[in-house]
Amino acid sequence: MEKRRLTYAVEKARDGNPTLLVHTGQDVIHIHSAYRPEGDWRIFKDAFNPGKYDILVVFGAGLGYHLQGLSKIIGMYRRVIIIDIIYGIEEELRKIPASAFLGKHPSIVFLSGLELREAEKALEEKIDLAESRGLQVLEHPASVRVAPDYYREIKDIIARLVNRKGGDMVTRSALGRRFFRNAVINLMGFGHHRPFNALEGRFTNAGALVAASGPSLTKIIPALGARRNRVFIIAVDSALPVLTGHGIHPDFFVSIDPQPYIMEHFDRTGERRGIPLLTMTTDPGIFAAEAGFLSLNTHPVSQFIEEAAPRAVGSFHSASGTVAGDAVKAALLMGFQAIGLAGFDFSFPGLEIYARGSAYQHRYAAIFHDRTAPVETRNLRYIMKSSGAVKQGGLYTRKSFIRYREALADMAQKEGGGRIRVIAPGPALPGIATQEMEKFIDSIELLPDAGKNLVRSAIEEVPALGKTIDISHIMSLLSDDVRSKITRASLEGDDGGIARGEHFFAKMLETRS
């Protein structure tokens, strides 16, 4: 969005108090009353709710009249963020005696006159939901009227941050013990994997198809099968049975889920399912099965490895909350000149849940199918119940799907550099072009088969981490105090699990020794 050039004037209102006027280029807007601006405190009279929310975001600083109700309750908030499109407006606000407290309190942050990217970066740093009771956004009507597009964009930024950070919190809360258990078990044997950073930038002369397990994946299988040797394939683990069931064997697969049920994705894939791209919290059954490439994520065990062996491993963690997002991040970092996304539906097109041939759909068809309720009927029931009748673009979806889609679109626009395409007939992704499979593959510079094999051979020659870093030294750093800190950080808020976690960690280390 192009930056607005706004000018303002502080003038005397009828009652003698300062009031604020903003010139938008087309209009002059009174931010406060031209008669009695002090009365603007009534705008948010009943809006502040520190008992429920401990983070407050306000759109529009003005001269602070509408915020004067905070004076007696400001200490109840952990953080107050005041956003205004006018650069330096807080200096004018501080000149108003009744508003001056806003410029002095340590919990108040002003973000004024920032470009959207600057604002997003600042909000990323300032909004911390880890110990928050909740976040409230209040919009000062007159301020928002000055630049509605700007504040709408800011609201979208905040929504994305809350969805992602809140989703991370919910995931950690629900699966904290599983993440911790997996990470500790995998820590005992991570040295047989290779570092993901060895793959970074290796594929600048090639194209990749990233395959997820949405229903639209099934529709591009014929075109992909005919051109399989002309493009690298990175599959999300749930897409493996769909592809291998049609004789299409991926080059890589990404598996980050901590739960053991993901093993069902591998039951019918055979051995030719590609090179694993894994994280420290991947289910140990997959992690130990075969050597792959390791990525560090935000889990405390991963952070311990990074501190013990800086920059030795690398990461494709996308912060999108999905394995599909991490697969796209991996493709970007690997340097592919063109990246196609197939099966990224984030919805239920054709009233289908997953691609036919996936473990999920197989489960429905093989186990739940009967004459009175065929799989299509069960699909429909599931969609109606899980979607809550939420639609986007005419398709049933879920609110969580919409958040994931927005996070992926945001990453693709910021980091993709025009390299990413959605493969038709998949639903469009905001800001990303759509292409048919044939045109996508024809548009990329192609490596001959021999060249592709040479690249894969070079990858397989990357030494395992156990040969490039001192694993014994890293394990020696796991003192009682360090293990306790890792456990507490991993199971924060789970007081009942911390003692058991510390015992488990010690026993695993003892077993390894």
Per DSSP bridges, beta strands 207-211 and 252-255 are unpaired
DSSP string, 420-439: EEEETTSPPBTTB-EE-HHH
CA distance 51 to 207: 53
Q: Domain map of the chain by residue range?
A: 39-164, 189-349+408-467, 478-512
* Residue keyed to tokens 């502040």: 48
Give pLDDT, residue 8.
92
CA distance 135 to 52: 9
Domain 39-164 indexed as CATH 3.30.310: no
Predicted TM-score of the model (pTM) = 0.66
* Torsional sign, CA 63, 69, 71, 75: negative
CA distance 337 to 400: 30
DSSP string, 329-359: HHHHHHT-SEEEEES--SS-GGG-SS-TTSH
CA distance 12 to 283: 67
DSSP string, 46-89: TT--TTT-SEEEEE--TTSGGGGGGTTTGGG-SEEEEEESSTTH
Give pLDDT, residue 450.
47
| Amino acid type, 336 | F
Q: For residue 374, give both structure tokens.
A: 């065929």
Burial 254-279 (b: 16+ CB within 10 A, else e): bbbbbeeebebbbeebeeebbbbbbb
CA distance 277 to 208: 15
Q: For residue 446, give both structure tokens.
A: 């192609």
Give 3-state DSSP helix, strand, coil % of the chain, rounded to 5. Answer: 50, 15, 35
Distance (Å) of CA 168 to CA 176, 262, 279, 298, 409: 11, 20, 16, 10, 18
Task: Label residue 507 exposed, middle or buried (CB < 10 Å: 0-12, 13-18, 19+).
Answer: exposed
User: Average pLDDT of each block of 10 consecutive residues along the chain (513 residues)?
Assistant: 66 94 84 93 90 89 94 90 94 92 90 90 84 83 89 85 62 72 96 95 89 88 83 92 90 89 76 86 92 92 94 90 91 94 75 62 51 50 52 60 76 89 82 89 65 65 93 95 93 80 93 82
Residue 305 main-chain phi, psi, to 5 deg:
-60, -40
End-to-end alpha carbon distance in the chain: 58
* Residue keyed to tokens 């500790």: 184
Edge-to-edge strand ranges of the sheet holding 207-211: 194-195, 293-295, 275-279, 252-255, 232-236, 207-211, 338-342, 420-423, 434-435
CA distance 207 to 376: 36
CA distance 509 to 77: 43
